[in-house]
Amino acid sequence: MFVRAQGEPQALSPALGMRLLRSLIALTALISGFVHGAQAHSLDEVDAMLQGDEKYFQPIDKPAPDFTLRTADGRVVRLADLSGKVVVLHFIYTSCPDVCPLHAEKIAEIQAMVNGTPMKGQVAFVTITTDPTRDTPDVLRDYGPAHGLDPVNWLFLTTNQGQSEDSTRKLAEAFGHKFTLSDDGYQMHGIVTHVIDKEGRWRANFYGLNFASVNLVTLVNALTNNIERPHDEPEEGWLAKLKNLF
């Protein structure tokens, strides 16, 4: 974990910088050669490709659990408000001493890859705290910049007024994993990154921190380009335009 003093320019940790460099190289290969995606005609084919290449990938196809939460500035955000964008979502709590900061940096790496392409305006990155009592608005505001997350398309959400303290932990359970409070104030939990499509359907989980970031970006690319459309429907979007260049 690294922090930035007020007024200092934001810097990436060396480890994150190296991972980001490797991932950007991989993303360049994805865009230039349209690895897998150029040949894929349905999301089933993309899923099959990822299941063959990525052991930490789980395809899902069902409505995502709904939520109504708020930002550090008090703005209410509903899942429906993100309709039309692919959502990359994960749960953390800021006092987590180990894996949560690493998870945030993993998301920052993926975000940097996405934001280096025309997908930038079509993807929302959402972090949800499971410790709303201690994760105050000031804490929420500082956490993203400290871990390289870009507020241009990133939200850090907490409980809304009137919601119970454990409501975001219950939301995590609805997404299939638990944040269990221990006596010392820490939380026992797994690490999962969820992908939700433009229509609010939960499409995939990526488990842990060792999945290849470019594989998640491949799925996001397919979802932003509506790859499920019928084969005889004209292709649209930036992927089709780029394909025409080759």
Q: Is 54 part of a structural domain of the chain?
A: yes
How far is residue 81 CA from its own chain's centroid? Answer: 16
Q: Is 94 part of a structural domain of the chain?
A: yes
pLDDT of residue 39: 44
Q: Is 8 part of a structural domain of the chain?
A: no
- The CATH number given to whatever domain includes residue 229 is 3.40.30.10
Q: Are strands 123-129 and 86-92 parallel, antiparallel or unpaired?
A: parallel
Sheet holding 123-129, edge to edge: 57-63, 201-207, 192-196, 86-92, 123-129, 154-157
Contacts of 165-171 with CB under 8 Å at 24 or more apart are 165/132, 165/133, 167/132, 168/69, 168/91, 168/128, 168/129, 168/130, 168/132, 169/130, 171/65, 171/67, 171/91, 171/128
pTM over the 0.95 mark: no
DSSP state of 9: P
Domain count of the chain?
Answer: 1
- Alpha-carbon span 108 to 111, nearest angstrom: 5
| Residue range of the domain that includes 84 | 14-243
Detail the DSSP E strand segments found in 135-223. Answer: 154-157, 179-181, 187-189, 192-196, 201-207
Q: Is 239 part of a structural domain of the chain?
A: yes
Q: Is 60 left (phi over 0), alpha (psi -120 to 50) or beta?
A: beta
Q: Is 9 part of a structural domain of the chain?
A: no
Q: Is 3 part of a structural domain of the chain?
A: no
Beta carbons within 10 angstroms of residue 76's beta carbon:
12
Q: In this structure, what token pair is assigned to residue 117?
A: 């392409």
Q: What is the pLDDT along the chain (246 residues), one digit of tens a residue?
A: 333 333 344 455 555 555 555 555 445 545 443 434 444 557 888 899 899 989 999 999 999 999 999 999 999 999 999 999 999 999 999 999 999 999 999 999 999 999 999 999 999 999 999 999 999 999 999 999 999 999 999 999 999 989 999 999 999 999 999 999 888 889 999 999 999 999 999 999 999 999 999 999 999 999 998 765 444 444 444 444 443 443
Q: Is 131 part of a structural domain of the chain?
A: yes
- Helix (H) / strand (E) containing 123: strand 123-129
pLDDT of residue 22: 52
